[in-house]
Amino acid sequence: MNLRRSSERGHANHGWLDSYHSFSFADYDDPRWRGFRSLRVINDDLVMPGKGFGMHPHRDMEILTYVLSGSLEHRDSMGNQRVLLPGDVQYMAAGSGVRHSEFNPSTEEAVHFLQIWIEPEVKGVAPRYEERSLAGAAAGSLSLVASKGGRDGSVAIHQDADLWIAKLGAGGEATHKVPPGRHLWIQVAEGRLSLNGTELGPGDAAWLEGAARTKFSAIKPSQVLIFDLS
């Protein structure tokens, strides 16, 4: 198991946006950190009230957004207009090309969310939009959010990559079994927990290769993202 601590990430504070980059992004470029397997971006974003990203293009990327607190208004060139709330997961296949904007509609509260990019296996697919909500998921749950083919009700993406989200109350535990030949990236979104005996805090990450399972034990109420990759 290898660790990437929160403090080691790239950081950009633009006033209206405070963003931490797990991998090279925008002005942050580190040749050691240009992705992990098909996982290309994990941006940990805090957008101030009334601010956001104007309409901009994407192409040939699988984009997932997970809202941790606040609200995030989404508009895109496919005609979708949504306000995402804590626990909401948004998926957009940029494919052959799509434009979208992300805006904090609140006048008082910042919005905190993770934006994730996964490189697709195929290019030029038709753009597509989906949502799932984990707002009602009980503490102690391990939810499959996205997978190739969309098994078990998860969002179907164009890559052999599973995204699981674990929500744990203080003292709670969860285990993820790892099929042979898979590669894991673990990202702590909130809280503090032990991963196979190693303590991780908010923004910390670990990657594992050759592990048979991962065991999470929450020290504080926690949310953790598990990327199970080919």
pLDDT score, position 147: 98
pLDDT score, position 182: 95
Q: What is the pLDDT of residues 146-180, one digit of tens each?
A: 999 999 999 999 999 999 999 999 999 999 999 89
User: How many domains in the chain?
Assistant: 1
| For residue 62, pLDDT beyond 90 | yes
Per the CB < 8 A criterion, the answer to whether 1 and 16 are in contact is no
The CB density around residue 207, as the number of other CB atoms within 10 Å, is 19
Q: Based on the number of CB atoms within 10 Å of its own CB, is 160 exposed (0-12), middle (13-18) or buried (19 or more)?
A: middle
Q: What is the pLDDT of residues 191-220, one digit of tens each?
A: 999 999 999 999 999 999 888 889 999 999
Q: What is the pLDDT of residues 75-122, one digit of tens each?
A: 999 999 999 999 999 999 999 999 999 999 999 999 999 999 999 999
Per the CB < 8 A criterion, the answer to whether 59 and 97 are in contact is yes
pLDDT score, position 9: 98
Report the C-alpha gap between 25 and 34 in whole angstroms: 8
Give buried/exposed letters for 61-90 (b at 16+ CB in 10 A, else e): bbbbbbbbebbbbbebeeeeeeebebbbbb
Q: Which domain covers residue 81, as residue numbers?
A: 2-229
pLDDT score, position 141: 84
pLDDT score, position 51: 98
pLDDT score, position 209: 87
pLDDT score, position 53: 97
pLDDT score, position 35: 97
Q: Token pair 């993202």 is at which residue?
A: 225
CATH of the domain at 151: 2.60.120.10
Q: What is the CA radius of gyration of the chain?
A: 17
Per the CB < 8 A criterion, the answer to whether 75 and 54 are in contact is no
Work out the average pLDDT over 36-60.
Answer: 98
The pTM (predicted TM-score) of the whole model is 0.96
